[in-house]
Amino acid sequence: MSANGDLDTLRLTAWDVHELLRSGEVSGPEVFTAYRTAIDARNDELNAYLTVADDPGGDGIPIALKDVISTAGIRTTAGSRVLGNYVPVFDATVAARCKEHGLRTLGKTNTDEFAMGSSTENSAFGPSRNPWDTTRVPGGSGGGSAAAVAAGLAPWALGSDTGGSIKLPSAFCGNVGLRPTYGTVSRYGIVAFASSLDQVGPVTKTVRDCAFLYSVISGRDENDSTTVDVPPVEIPEADHLGGLRIGVPRQLNEVDGIEPGVKSAVDAAIATAERLGASVDTCELPLSVDYGLPCYYLIAPAEASSNLARYDGVRYGLRTPGDTFVEMLMATRHDGFGDEVKRRIMLGTYALSAGYYDAYYGTAQKVRTVIKHEHDALFERFDLLVSPTCATTAFSLGDRAADPLAMYLTDVLTIPPNMAGLPSISIPCGLSDGLPVGLQLIGQQFAENTIFRAGHALEQAIGFDYVPERLR
């Protein structure tokens, strides 16, 4: 609470809101109104939300949802003109579970079109901006969710992560972002990009909030056959790391282009882990780093080209008239899809075409298995692996927009564990030239509780102030 009794949404964590509501110090409508007031004041500058929802009533914690998550009665665009006026008649499973726990939807957050991008500059509705420096990107594809949480426009949010779309924005905006083990969170009702990689996860201010929200959304869902039962989620309390074995893969920590300020902050965080009782040793991940990015950019576009074939101007979404079905189809996709989506559809269609399937998509899937095995071998020696989340801090708007390869390389450190289906989290570990630096913690399958324990202990020891400096 601020001195005048108003809620200071910049400082409130979801856990804080939970405690305020539980004690009766504030009511659900008061909390919702406080966040709506903050959205009205700052969203024009940040473009974090594409749609702001009406107050659904109730007494739960407000939440923002990335605009690839279907919400009954609330526009869901996936950042694309082709779905610019689409209003679902059903909730995604994660949205339904949030409702079941009393969480109140504030609105839908901006995203690169169909979650394809690393900066949120590919949104058909304009880029989001980083609350730490509005001349810089918030990361992508889920930059809207990260910007909303960092700027106090939501206490927490949901994002989706295919190649790094939760972790990267969280690193750039000073948030905590979890990409869970593949299969622990339902994809039912999520606008599909690459089905074997897409995963929904929390974007929060603290690791405790992250564990709290993960407990809400995770678990088996009869509507998604890839989901599994998950171990009970433990809300982290530990302030030490005694007995934890941490590996530092050389290739992830010495990647080309790593900024000195990023390396310094990450090295300091690793030293803190040792001080807290963890054993730390270097290790190798040569194939995962060398082949993870090219492997991803064969598999993900191939699956995208299949998934996006449903946007035909017939069943839902945009329709541009034409004299024949083929003319209508071509005109609709020309008008509805942006340049990056078209680029990935063409790459994916080529990789799946007759005569090339085995050479490209098939081979990439075999390499993906090698990447998984390489990570598994390290987890025989270590409980967690650590690295920077990104080699740089947030870059300026427009810096990489004209260079797709440079943009793709932004995700070079987040992609390897994603390809292996492993859980990983980004936590802020310091500043470089006034911008947040993200530390990536990677665990073995279903080791979210280990990640939460380590992340919480490090978070407490590092003492990062998650409120952007210019807003303090």
What does R_g of the chain's alpha carbons equal in angstroms?
Answer: 21
* Rounded mean pLDDT, 268-293: 97
pLDDT band for 437, please (50, 70, 90 cuts).
very high
pLDDT, mean over the chain: 96
Q: How many residues does the chain have?
A: 472
Residue at 104: amino acid letter: R
- Its domain, for residue 384, covers 14-286+371-471
Written as six digits, the tokens of 198 are 């897409």
Q: What is the DSSP letter of 193?
A: S
Task: List all residues 6 or more positions away from 252 whose beta carbon is below 8 Å from its beta carbon.
Answer: 285, 289, 385, 387, 388, 413, 416, 440
Residue 136, φ and ψ in degrees, nearest 5: -115, 160
Q: Does 1 have pLDDT greater than 90? A: no
Please say whether the beta carbons of 203 and 424 come within 8 A. Answer: no
Instruction: Give the pLDDT of residue 5.
Output: 46
Statement: residue 118 has pLDDT above 70: yes
* Residue type, position 294, single letter: P
Select which of 70, 119, 165, 387 is catalytic.
Answer: 165
Mean pLDDT over 454-466 rounds to 98
Q: Which of 42, 160, 43, 36 lies closest to 105, judged by CA?
A: 36
* Of 106, 98, 18, 102, nearest in space to 60 by CA: 102
How many structural domains compose the chain? 1
Candidate list 119, 128, 141, 424, residue with the active-site label: 141
The Cα–Cα gap between 451 and 426 comes to 10
Structural domain includes residue 216: yes
Read off the pLDDT of residues 217-252 as tens digits, 9 standing for 90 and up.
999 999 999 999 999 999 999 899 999 999 999 999
| Alpha-carbon separation of residue 31 from 118, 121, 319, 391 (angstroms) | 32, 31, 40, 37
Is residue 332 domain-resident? no
**For 266, phi and psi rounded to 5 degrees?**
-70, -45
Residue 3 reports pLDDT greater than 70: no
**Residue 316 placed within a domain:** no
Q: Taking residues 394-401, report their average pLDDT.
A: 96
Is 165 known to be catalytic? Answer: yes
Alpha helices (runs of H) in 218-324, residue ranges in sequence order: 250-253, 260-275, 286-307
d(CA 426, CA 172): 10
CATH number at residue 413: 3.90.1300.10
Inform me whether the pLDDT recorded for 190 exceeds 60: yes
Q: Give pLDDT, residue 4.
A: 41
Task: Please give the angle made by the CA atoms of 456, 433 and 389, to the nearest 5 degrees.
Answer: 45
Q: Is residue 54 part of a domain?
A: yes
Residue 337 lies in a domain: no
Q: Looking at residues 165-169, what average pLDDT do you find?
A: 98
The span from the CA of 181 to the CA of 448, in Å, is 8
- Residue 206 pLDDT level (bands cut at 50, 70, 90): very high
Amino acid identity of residue 95, one-letter, is A
**pLDDT of residue 328 exceeding 70:** yes
- Mean pLDDT, rounded, for 456-472: 96
Alpha carbon 377 to its chain centroid, in Å, reads: 26
Known catalytic membership, residue 167: no
| Of 69, 66, 1, residue with least CA distance to 30 | 1
DSSP state of 94: H
**Residue 220 CB contacts under 8 Å (≥ 6 apart), including other chains:** 227, 228, 229, 230
From CA 390, how far away is CA 258, in angstroms rounded?
Answer: 8
**419/425 Cα distance (integer angstroms):** 15
Q: Are 166 and 154 in contact, with CB atoms under 8 Å apart?
A: no
Examine the pLDDT at 55 and tell me if it is beyond 90.
no
Question: Please, which pLDDT band fits residue 315 given cuts at 50, 70 and 90?
Answer: confident
pLDDT surpassing 50 at residue 370: yes
- Listed in sequence order, the residues at least 6 apart from 155 whose beta carbon sits closer than 8 Å to its beta carbon are 9, 12, 13, 14, 16, 17, 35, 61, 62, 63, 149, 204, 205, 209
Q: Which residue has the tokens 């690791």?
A: 207
Residues near 397 by beta carbon (within 8 Å), at least 6 away in sequence = 119, 121, 127, 129, 135, 136, 137
H helices present in 151-199, as ranges: 167-173
Q: By percentage, how much of the chain surpasses pLDDT 90? A: 96
- Confidence at residue 386, expressed as pLDDT on a 0 to 100 scale: 98
Q: pLDDT band at 6, cuts 50/70/90?
A: confident
